[in-house]
Amino acid sequence: MPEAVYADLSRCIACHACELACERENESAKIFVQVVRGLAAVPVSCRQCETPLCAAVCPGEALNYRDSRLEYDAEKCTGCRLCVLACPFGTAELRAGVVERCDLCQGKEIPACVATCPSGALFCAEAENLGEDIRTRRAERIKKALGNPEPAGRRVNR
Amino acid sequence: MPEHPVNEGSLCPKGNTTLEVLNHPDRLKFPLRKTENGWERIEWEAALDLAAAKMKGSLEKSGPDSLAFLGSAKCSNEENYIFQKIARLLGTNNVDNCARLCHASTLTGLGKTLGTGAMTNPISDLASSECIFVIGSNFAENHPPVSRQVLRAKEKGAFVIVADPRITPTSWLADLALRLKPGTDIALLNGMMHVIVSEGLWDRRFVRERTRGFSELEQNLQRYDPETVSRITGIPSADIIKAARAYARAGTAAIVYSMGITQHSSGTDNVTACADLALICGHIGEKGTGILPLRGQNNVQGACDMGALAEFYPGYGKVGDPEAAGRLQTLWRTDELSEHPGKTATEMVEAAGKGKIKTLYVIGEDPVNSHPDSSQVKKALENLDFLIVQDIFMTDTAEYADLILPAAAFAEKEGSFTSTERRVQWVEPALLPPGEARADLEILFGLAEKLGLDFPCRGAGEVLEEISVAVPAYGGMEKERMKKGFGLVWPCPGPAHPGTPILHTESFKTPDGFARIIPVEHRSPAETPGPEYPFLLTTGRTVLHYNAGSMSRRSKSLLKKEPELYVEINPADARTMEIRDGNKLFLETRRGKTEATARLTERVGQGVLFMPFHFPGTNALTAGSLDREAKIPEFKVSACRIRRY
């Protein structure tokens, strides 16, 4: 499965900088920060699905998945918005007759949203490694906590 | 720039949209004079002649104190320095900047306890803190890149405490969130100190060797037992104890505060209480250990360092101190400087209302929207003989001006800026100013010449050379040095000095080197809700806008996401008043009224309303009650009533 932009939800502070950076670089935002009751935030962008439902439902074959890349042919698009409905994450958008989808800022070293994220919540990763990455990070945190002879919140009074 | 030590290449939403603001068609391009038929474009020469003639007129007719100068914390050090120099050479100390509205209480509070009213450690130090106590700061929205350092600390196991009346994205990062009633910060801080002292968690050696005044504090703390404090603040006593223990026991601990502490009629005392807490625990003067007041604009620290303050000369020499005045007189080759402190930003407006100030010169400020009690501000501006506004946009304040001078924005000029962590960085122009707009420094030199003041026009680099003599902490600041790497952190007294990221490591900046522990008492805010005005209105910022909004409200992508003035109200309060999300509400305080859209959210507690101050209207409601030492207005607490529109 190709790379995609993921978010560490415990780090997102709902500042919307990723949306604005994407808008600046790509004319319209292809990442969306959903704020839940003012108490938590979830950034979502295209998951770069291996079997993209958006392409699968396209009646006019305007969306085609070839060589790990989704191609879009505006000539064949009827504007029916089935792709928008099919995307389980709500990240396919049809604007002005064009299906817009995150292309990970082709030509840039890292996507603009990842580069700009003030809290370091966004990162680029391959889905296969995602679970392992999280497990490694969590394990390192536990190691740090255990390995410290004077863990946080303990000080010998002078 | 991923290698930058502060933001590491990240940008907040305002940073991401800055080109929309700089390239906006509304930018002021030509000097404008108000006539009976509206605005008339005039030549620069005529504009500067007019400004100088009006200032001289007021000076001759009503004396130097009929002039007032309101500077900008968005302008460079060089510009602020020359601005206050013009004011003082004309014979008045009526010069101030908007730090009066945000961190004046930091200067007074940290000044009298630690000797220096500035951040003690760099932002990146937070990553090394084992406990971070955040009180009255919503950095996740107002200083988003600070979050990455706090999160880095959390990854290492740090314990984060956030005290705020609202639930904010900053409290999402907390291990312990303390939801206190607005205006009860001193009670909370004293309560924590009560626990620390009674449980013997204070740092005896630090208190003995580096401070004075502990026994007075100990006496004062007796009344602040956790149960009493819990009744005042609304925080469960167990949480107060937990916070106190976590902060005191941590090996390295930092206090982060901001306007939730400073913008109160007890602002100076609030800051003093923060300093007391750090001092009794010995949490000052080491990596990851200190007090971090986060400043709002790019050059609040610098504008204050440069003496754009009514009571301080450049480098914080007190107005009235003959030695400080003498030094400046030698440097400026003048015989006399006014010996009495000038009027502060808020006092200037009041004095204009009473007709004592005739000519006001405002740079990059929008008091109509940023000062409390807007209707009084408007009346005062109308009462002036002559108002000069120098800005990049036609602000609501500029509408009241007689003369408008179009200025270059930060990316269109050169100069140095001092960030919240005392880091002085040099900025090179990247763009050309629009139309005939000029750099503020160029405008000021032009005006000084017309006023007949005897100092030659120079570039920013040469002005910095004069600053390095006038301000001892800037002694080693040179343009070429600063351009290498990422600037220098003051105090940097000499050309070979590397700068001082951490303050107070050996001794404090007080005359005898000891810090002062000063007991303070909880007092109720100047206004509390009652039957007539039952809600407590508090104000602040939201992540998508900047200050009074004259810039961020001109970014179409920011405005699309946050288009209008809103008021946060707890769903339980809304239910009893039959208010639904999106309803237009009519808000009223003893000062004025305004309309806003209701936003139902549990982010605010019952009985509390929150409004951002980025839109006109909010400050029509706020009160002008001032802290007696810092003269900062109490933006954070007003009694308010609402009804559906």
Q: Smallest Cα–Cα separation from B621: which of B546, B525, B527? A: B527
Work out the percent of chain B whose per-residue pLDDT is above 70: 100
Which residues of A, range 1-30, sit inside 8 Å of B by Cβ? Answer: 11, 13-17, 19-21, 23-24
pLDDT band at A158 (very low <50, low <70, confident <90, very high): very low
Contacts of A13 in chain B (CB under 8 A): 140-141, 144, 147, 169-170, 172-173, 543
Determine the 3-state secondary structure of B414 from DSSP: coil
Q: Do A39 and B602 make contact, defined as CB atoms within 8 angstroms?
A: yes
Q: Do B169 and A155 make contact, defined as CB atoms within 8 angstroms?
A: no
Q: What is the largest CA-CA distance in chain B?
A: 73
Q: Give B196 or A89, the one with higher predicted confidence.
A: B196
Judge whether residue A156 has pLDDT over 70: no
Interface predicted TM-score of the whole assembly (ipTM), two decimals: 0.88
Spatial neighbors of A94 by CB under 8 A, at least 6 apart, are A79, A81, A83, A84, A100
pLDDT band at B595 (very low <50, low <70, confident <90, very high): very high
Q: Smallest Cα–Cα separation from B103: which of B293, B250, B309, B365? A: B293
Q: Smallest Cα–Cα separation from B419: which of B74, B14, B70, B16? A: B74
Which residue in A38, A119, A148 is closest to B602 by CB distance? Answer: A38
Q: How far is CA B529 from the centre of its chain?
A: 26
Interface residue of B172, B204, B546 to substitute, partner A, most A CBs within 10 Å: B172
Work out the percent of chain B whose per-residue pLDDT is above 90: 91
Spatial neighbors of B253 by CB under 8 A, at least 6 apart, are B129, B130, B131, B132, B133, B247, B278, B281, B283, B288, B289
Supply B124's token pair.
Answer: 């990146």
Provide the mean pLDDT of chain B: 94
Which residue in A11, A20, A155 is closest to B13 by CB distance? Answer: A20
Supply the DSSP symbol for B306. Answer: T
Residue whose token pair is 């000052």: B284
Q: Do A116 and B147 make contact, defined as CB atoms within 8 angstroms?
A: no
Please give the average per-residue pLDDT across B19-31, as a whole number.
96
Residue-level pLDDT at A153: 45
Contacts of A26 in chain B (CB under 8 A): none
Q: Do A13 and B170 make contact, defined as CB atoms within 8 angstroms?
A: yes
| Angle (deg, nearest 10), helices B214-221 and B267-280 | 110
Q: Do A115 and B10 make contact, defined as CB atoms within 8 angstroms?
A: yes
Contacts of A39 in chain B (CB under 8 A): 167, 172, 602-603
Give chain B's domains with CATH numbers.
17-101+298-489 (3.40.50.740), 104-293 (3.40.228.10), 535-644 (2.40.40.20)
In chain B, whose CA is at the least distance from the CA of A10?
B173
Residue-level pLDDT at B247: 96
In chain A, whose CA is at the least distance from the CA of B556?
A20
Contacts of A155 in chain B (CB under 8 A): 248-251
Please give the average per-residue pLDDT across B510-527, as a whole number.
93
In chain B, whose CA is at the least distance from the CA of A149?
B251
Contacts of B282 in chain A (CB under 8 A): 158
Give chain A's domains with CATH numbers.
1-47+102-146 (3.30.70.20), 49-101 (3.30.70.20)
- Tell me whether A115 touches chain B (CB under 8 Å): yes
pLDDT band at A106 (very low <50, low <70, confident <90, very high): confident
Beta strand pairing status for A93-95 and B515-516? unpaired
Residue-level pLDDT at A98: 62
pLDDT band at A94 (very low <50, low <70, confident <90, very high): low
Phi-psi region of A136 (alpha: psi -120 to 50; beta: other; left: phi over 0): alpha
Q: Do B10 and A38 make contact, defined as CB atoms within 8 angstroms?
A: no
Contact B591, B373 (CB under 8 A): yes
Q: Do A17 and B602 make contact, defined as CB atoms within 8 angstroms?
A: no
- Tell me whether A39 touches chain B (CB under 8 Å): yes
Please give the average per-residue pLDDT across B204-220, as a whole number.
94
Q: Do A17 and B16 make contact, defined as CB atoms within 8 angstroms?
A: yes
Residue-level pLDDT at A146: 64
Residue-level pLDDT at B558: 93
Question: In this structure, how many other beta carbons lie within 10 angstroms of the beta carbon of residue A36?
Answer: 9
Of A103-112, B305-314, B434-443, B445-454, the least confident:
A103-112
In angstroms, the CA B267 to CA B260 distance is 9
Interface residue of B4, B11, B17, B132 to substitute, partner A, most A CBs within 10 Å: B11
Residue-level pLDDT at A101: 73
Residue-level pLDDT at A144: 66
Residue-level pLDDT at B467: 95
In angstroms, the CA A88 to CA A86 distance is 6
Supply B523's token pair.
Answer: 């007092």
Please give the average per-residue pLDDT across B332-341, as a whole number.
90
Judge whether residue B160 has pLDDT over 70: yes
How near does any CA of chain B get to the CA of A58, in Å? 31
Residue-level pLDDT at B516: 96
Which residue in B2, B157, B558 is closest to A145 by CB distance? Answer: B157
pLDDT tens digits for range B89-123: 999 999 999 988 889 899 999 999 999 999 999 99
Judge whether residue B164 has pLDDT over 80: yes
Contact B377, B368 (CB under 8 A): yes
Please give the average per-residue pLDDT across A3-8, as a whole number.
88
Contact B602, B573 (CB under 8 A): no
Judge whether residue B634 has pLDDT over 70: yes
How near does any CA of chain A get to the CA of B49, in Å? 42
In angstroms, the CA A100 to CA B334 distance is 66
Judge whether residue A150 has pLDDT over 50: no
- Beta bridge partners, B160, equal B132
pLDDT band at B157 (very low <50, low <70, confident <90, very high): confident
In angstroms, the CA B591 to CA B593 distance is 7
Q: How far is CA B151 from the centre of its chain?
A: 25
Question: In this structure, how many other beta carbons lie within 10 angstroms of the beta carbon of residue A32?
Answer: 17
Residue-level pLDDT at B78: 96
